[in-house]
């Protein structure tokens, strides 16, 4: 059982043994807890397909939690290891096919280089794609808009499937969706840039810029979710 360091929300850990889940819920009775919702747990091998078996499993867990008066905050997870396989395929497609992109990441090992570089590139496309790489498209749509829409749609689908679990309070944005975490990666974006990098040189990537981009995403996320769940609250590490 983990705790969130900032606001001290315990994390309800996913287990397949429902008897073990009963024990967790009994220990956490009457608390507000976080449920980590990895993007790749919801989204399958294509952008618009979802893992209904996983969501049914989560629904069962939340029903158990409801019996112990637990309130739940859904926590979207966007890490290298929680990206859907189709996102990884898209990143590799861009990496291989976009002649204007070069990858030069100075990390300790080749494996670390590949992984950290690819995740940095994902964050750059997700939050700054329209500014840094406007020429990169997915079927005519900007890559930033496409990735953000699909992430939000996946979380919206999860909320819809779990709507009968009345103990869901809303969403919680962890430090992995904070400007500090994202800036720690994107600040070195000069290592992943356009070969003709006039555009990226003109754009100063500052903590303030990242905060604006992250806040814009969170606002879009909230506005889309509350269309069907206007009672949801939205919390983060910063409040």
User: Per residue in 6-42, pLDDT tens?
Assistant: 568 999 999 999 999 999 999 999 999 999 999 999 9
pLDDT score recorded for residue 191: 47
Contact 183, 207 (CB under 8 A): yes
Bridge-based pairing of strands 10-11 and 2-3 is: antiparallel
Range of the domain at 215: 2-236
The dihedral formed by the CA atoms of 212, 226, 162 and 9, expressed in degrees to the nearest 10: 50
Is the per-residue pLDDT at 169 higher than 60?
yes
Instruction: Find out whether 166 and 103 touch, Cβ atoms under 8 Å.
Output: no
d(CA 38, CA 29): 24
pLDDT for the residue 107: 44
The confidence band for 94, taking pLDDT boundaries of 50, 70 and 90, is: confident
User: Residue 49 in 3-state DSSP?
Assistant: coil
Please tell me the total count of domains within the chain: 1
- Residue 150's contacts (CB-CB under 8 Å, 6 or more residues apart) are 43, 47, 48
The per-residue pLDDT for range 58-75, each reduced to its tens digit, is 999 999 999 999 999 999
Average pLDDT, the chain: 85
Torsion, Cα 145 44 192 36, to 10 degrees, reads: 90
Q: Which residues are 237's β-sheet partners?
A: none
Residue 239 confidence class, pLDDT cut points 50, 70, 90:
low
Nearest-Å Rg of the Cα atoms of the chain is: 19
Does residue 116 sit in helix, strand or coil? helix
| Measured CA distances, 73 to 11, 124, 132, 171 (Å) | 9, 27, 33, 5
pLDDT at 110: 40
Q: What is the pLDDT of residues 132-167, one digit of tens each?
A: 888 888 889 999 999 999 999 999 999 999 999 999
Residues 180-191 have pLDDT tens digits of 999 988 876 654
**Arithmetic mean of pLDDT, 43-54:** 93
Burial of 71 (0-12, 13-18, 19+ CB in 10 A): middle
The burial of 133, by beta-carbon neighbours within 10 Å (0-12 exposed, 13-18 middle, 19 or more buried), is given as buried
Q: Is the pTM of this model over 0.85?
A: yes
């Amino acid at each position: 059982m983990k705790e969130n360091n900032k606001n001290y929300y315990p994390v309800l850990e996913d287990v397949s043994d429902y008897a073990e889940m009963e024990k967790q819920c009994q220990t956490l009775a009457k608390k507000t807890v976080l449920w980590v919702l990895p993007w790749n747990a919801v989204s399958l091998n294509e952008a618009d397909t979802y893992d209904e078996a996983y969501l049914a499993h989560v629904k069962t867990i939340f029903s158990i939690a409801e019996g112990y008066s637990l309130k739940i905050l859904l926590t979207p997870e966007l890490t290298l290891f929680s990206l859907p396989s189709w996102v990884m395929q898209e990143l590799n497609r861009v990496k291989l096919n976009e002649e204007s992109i070069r990858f030069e990441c100075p990390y300790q090992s080749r494996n670390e280089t590949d992984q950290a570089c690819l995740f940095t590139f994902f964050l750059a496309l997700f939050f700054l794609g329209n500014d840094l790489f406007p020429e990169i498209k997915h079927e005519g749509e900007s890559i930033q808009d496409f990735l953000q829409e699909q992430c939000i749609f996946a979380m919206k689908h999860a909320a819809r499937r779990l709507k009968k679990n009345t103990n869901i309070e809303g969403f919680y944005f962890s430090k992995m969706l904070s400007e500090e975490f994202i800036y720690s990666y994107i600040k070195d974006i000069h290592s992943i840039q356009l070969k003709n990098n006039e555009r990226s040189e003109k754009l100063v990537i500052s903590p303030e810029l990242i905060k604006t981009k992250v806040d814009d995403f969170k606002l879009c996320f909230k506005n889309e979710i509350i269309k069907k769940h206007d009672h949801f609250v939205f919390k983060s590490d910063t409040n």
